[in-house]
């Protein structure tokens, strides 16, 4: 009886080997394997093709593409620790413990110089509602390098920390003396050709300027377009410089860039080496105030937030508000402090377990934290498509 397992003829010269070790009825192919289990040429070709296709597809997913992808980044409690060390350390004044959390929020970004986005990053970003995908050219200058980007981010963070410290100490009633050195005139302003790099601004309209806050307070009383007289020290001698003020957001500006050198009455150190940009300023300032006051402002509540801060306590707009809302919710926050200017961007993107409070100044942000901690937050302003709105009027 023929053996039905035979799959094909035996090659000449291999007949003896084909039955070697099989016994009376066992039959093997020329290579010593059962012919029925030997893959055909077509199957082998198909397998190789599939493996090649899979390998190419996998490689394609990690290939860099010209897109910038922003997703929710980590949040950090400014009242807690970072890498095993306090995020904020203060020397020269008593500090106090807190039971709540004040969490700064961040955006994780890929697609910038030195940090290319992959196809997988982009595909995931298109699917997730809390991820923003944009052409990289719309976000980064084409000639911007990785080192330059990191330097910019670190410089912004350093400036933000200093501004937060000055704003917080000023809010608490400390005097923060400063030397106001002019670095340049703003292009297109009336100050061009009148001030010089290195001029030290000492007075405006005869009002001495011992600190930055005095300058801001005086200009708040000036109508844009009016002329003010700057007194500067140039080459060791006083010089008076009349300047026609400009305008931005309804405020009078003198049209100069100032590099203030502050003499801080309290030594504040903020650890944030792996975070860049200026958007944590408001939360840093709140953390400093909380640490320097005996009140337990948040009183157990988890409050997240964002916003730049100026030395005079103005909260400014930031990028990535929607990603930061998602990150705050993920990390357990129940409240979120958002800059007034970002209010419209939050509408329709606030997680169900998060309540947004609109703030325009450090004082408003601090008052909001106190109200939240006290359980009296029902009347705090929230955000609408038209901007901040009182919750009681909504």
Is 324 an annotated catalytic residue? yes
Q: Is 258 exposed, middle or buried (0-12, 13-18, 19+ CB in 10 A)?
A: middle
How far apart CA 125 and CA 132 sit, in angstroms, is 6
Is 18 an annotated catalytic residue? no
- Give bridge partners of residue 184 from the DSSP assignment: 257
Residue 46, SS3? helix
Q: How many CB atoms lie within 10 A of CB 25?
A: 9
As given in the structure block, the two tokens for residue 191 are 């100050």
Q: Among 71, 324, 326, 329, which one carries the catalytic annotation?
A: 324
Q: What is the length of the chain?
A: 394
Could you tell me where the DSSP H helices lie in the chain?
15-18, 41-62, 119-127, 146-171, 212-219, 281-292, 321-330, 343-346, 362-373
Enter the DSSP assignment of 33: S
One DSSP character per residue, 303-338 reads EEE--EE-TT-BEE--S-HHHHHHHHHHTT-SEEEE
- Give bridge partners of residue 335 from the DSSP assignment: 303, 355
Residue 356, SS3? strand
Q: Among 118, 279, 326, 329, which one carries the catalytic annotation?
A: 279
Nearest Cα to Cα of residue 304 among 82, 101, 70, 161: 101
How far apart CA 300 and CA 296 sit, in angstroms, is 8
Contacts of 44 (CB under 8 A, 6+ apart): none
Q: Is 91 exposed, middle or buried (0-12, 13-18, 19+ CB in 10 A)?
A: exposed
Known catalytic residues are: 279, 324
């Amino acid at each position: 009886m023929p053996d039905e397992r035979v799959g094909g003829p035996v090659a000449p010269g291999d007949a003896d080997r084909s039955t070697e070790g099989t016994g009376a009825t066992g039959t093997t192919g020329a290579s010593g394997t059962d012919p029925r289990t030997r893959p055909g040429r077509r199957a082998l070709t198909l397998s190789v093709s599939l493996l090649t296709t899979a390998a190419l597809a996998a490689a394609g997913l990690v290939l860099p593409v010209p897109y910038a992808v922003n997703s929710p980044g980590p949040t950090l409690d400014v009242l807690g620790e970072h890498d095993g060390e306090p995020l904020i350390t203060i020397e020269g004044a008593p500090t106090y413990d807190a039971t709540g959390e004040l969490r700064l929020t961040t955006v994780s970004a890929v697609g910038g110089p030195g940090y290319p986005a992959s196809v997988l990053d982009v595909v995931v970003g298109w699917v997730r509602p809390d991820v923003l995908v944009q052409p990289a050219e719309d976000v980064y200058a084409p000639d911007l390098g990785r080192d330059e980007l990191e330097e910019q981010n670190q410089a912004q963070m350093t400036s933000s920390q200093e501004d937060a410290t000055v704003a917080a100490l000023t809010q608490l009633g400390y005097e923060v003396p400063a030397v106001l050195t002019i670095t340049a005139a703003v292009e297109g302003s009336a100050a061009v050709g009148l001030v010089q790099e290195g001029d030290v601004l000492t007075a405006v309209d005869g009002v001495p300027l011992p600190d930055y806050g005095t300058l801001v307070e005086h200009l708040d009383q000036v109508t844009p377009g009016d002329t003010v007289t700057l007194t500067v020290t140039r080459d060791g001698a006083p010089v008076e410089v009349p300047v026609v003020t400009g305008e931005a957001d309804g405020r009078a500006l003198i049209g100069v860039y100032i590099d203030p050198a502050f003499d801080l009455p309290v030594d504040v150190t903020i650890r944030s080496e792996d975070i860049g940009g200026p958007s944590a300023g408001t939360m840093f300032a709140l953390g400093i105030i909380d640490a320097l006051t005996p009140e337990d402002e948040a009183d157990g509540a988890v409050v997240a937030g964002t916003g730049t801060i100026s030395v005079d306590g103005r909260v400014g707009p930031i990028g990535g508000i929607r990603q930061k809302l998602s990150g705050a919710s993920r990390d357990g926050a129940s409240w979120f402090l958002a800059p007034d200017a970002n209010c419209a961007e939050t509408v329709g993107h606030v997680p169900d377990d998060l309540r947004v409070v609109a703030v325009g100044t450090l004082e408003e942000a601090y008052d909001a934290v106190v109200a939240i901690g006290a359980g009296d937050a029902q009347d705090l302003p929230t955000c609408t498509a038209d901007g901040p709105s009182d919750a009681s009027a909504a």
